[in-house]
Chain A
Amino acid sequence: MSGSSGRTPEESDDDALSWGTERDATHVESAVEEPSGDPHAIEAPEPTNSVLLVVYGVFAGVFLLYVVGWIIAVQSIGVGSAGALALILDRFAQFLAFLSPVIWFFGVLLLVPHTKPRTRILWLVLGVVVLAPWPFVLGFGS
């Protein structure tokens, strides 16, 4: 393989793994991107801190458990409205109730800027308290 230049195969492999120098004929200088200098330009969002990702994951798990709790609670409560429209709206209200933790979670993540993680967490904690499936937790059903 490298017999003509008198180099050992190991030396040849080392060359293949090095970046070479600017005098190398195969060297290509990549273009350097200059900053635009526009102070109003929207910067790409910074990657979310891994600790925050874990925290959001915990909240997502809690809210998913809440959905299960609400589905069980809603089944035990039953619908008491008379009339087709009232019945449809009642069903819609029940559907919203068991989707409420999911709606809250994604609503907070979308509407609170990622630059304010404390505010996001506070809103998520509020959701954990307010949207708990209390009829299921307390063992109630009408």
Chain B
Amino acid sequence: MTIAELGVERTRFGWVHAVFAVLFGLLFAFYFYEALAQTLELSGYLQTQNALLRKADATELVFPWVVIAPLLALPFITFGLAFLLARRRPILPFIGIFVMALAVLSAGALTLESIAFQLTRIS
């Protein structure tokens, strides 16, 4: 297969595809586990911050679900989109699309995590 054919060739979803889909699935699952861990960590952090705010009679911070919900959903969304785009492609483009999705997930998760911690920080 030449580089020019990488983007146009189509094939059937075989057992090699399935093996790689499962391996990538495990990596995407780790990101979900990380997002859950961050949610719990943030919850504890927020309680500490709110205790300080209560003592100072200041307005308490709310849990940033606007950011945490996409963070929890992102592994499923990126995996689903990668699978839809890659399922009929030969194995090399199949792996390439999943690596791209994993890279997007890494960047997106870091962005959302840092926004979530910023929103729960006392200024």
* Chain A contact residues, majority secondary structure: helix
Q: Which residues of A contact B (CB under 8 A)?
A: 42, 45, 70, 73-74, 77, 80-81, 86, 89-90, 93-94, 96-97, 99-100, 103-104, 107, 110-114, 130-131, 133-135, 138, 140-142
Q: How far is the CA of A90 from the CA of B2 in the complex (A)?
A: 35
Would you give the shortest CB distance from B82 to chain A, in whole angstroms?
11
Instruction: Return the 10 tightest CB-CB contacts between A and B, nearest first.
Output: A100-B103, A142-B117, A96-B106, A97-B106, A135-B114, A140-B114, A113-B7, A107-B100, A103-B103, A100-B107
Cβ of B122 within 8 Å of any chain A Cβ, yes or no, is no
| B13-21, B50-58, B91-99: which lies at the interface | B91-99
Q: Are A111 and B7 interface neighbours, CB within 8 A?
A: yes
Would you give the shortest CB distance from A82 to chain B, in whole angstroms?
9
Interface centre among A77, A93, A112, A113 (most CB of B within 10 A): A93
CB within 8 Å of A: which B53-104 residues: 93, 96-97, 99-100, 102-104
| Residues from chain B with Cβ under 8 Å of A138 in the complex | 115, 118
| Residues from chain A with Cβ under 8 Å of B107 in the complex | 70, 96-97, 100, 130-131, 133
Q: Are A74 and B4 interface neighbours, CB within 8 A?
A: no
Known: A93-B31, A113-B4, A140-B118. Contact between A100 and B104, CB under 8 A?
yes
Q: Number of contacts between A and B (CB, 8 Å)?
A: 90
Q: Which residues of B contact A (CB under 8 A)?
A: 2-8, 27, 30-31, 34, 37, 41, 93, 96-97, 99-100, 102-104, 106-111, 113-115, 117-118
* Chain B contact residues, majority secondary structure: helix
Would you give the shortest CB distance from A16 to chain B, in whole angstroms?
42
Q: Are B102 and A96 interface neighbours, CB within 8 A?
A: yes
Q: Are A74 and B104 interface neighbours, CB within 8 A?
A: no
Q: How far is the CA of A94 from the CA of B31 in the complex (A)?
A: 12
| Residues from chain A with Cβ under 8 Å of B97 in the complex | 107, 111
Q: Are B3 and A81 interface neighbours, CB within 8 A?
A: no
Q: Are B96 and A135 interface neighbours, CB within 8 A?
A: no
Q: Are A90 and B96 interface neighbours, CB within 8 A?
A: no
Q: Are B103 and A104 interface neighbours, CB within 8 A?
A: yes
Residue in B100, B106, B114 whose beta carbon sits within 8 Å of that of A93 in the complex: B106
Q: How far is the CA of A94 from the CA of B114 in the complex (A)?
A: 13
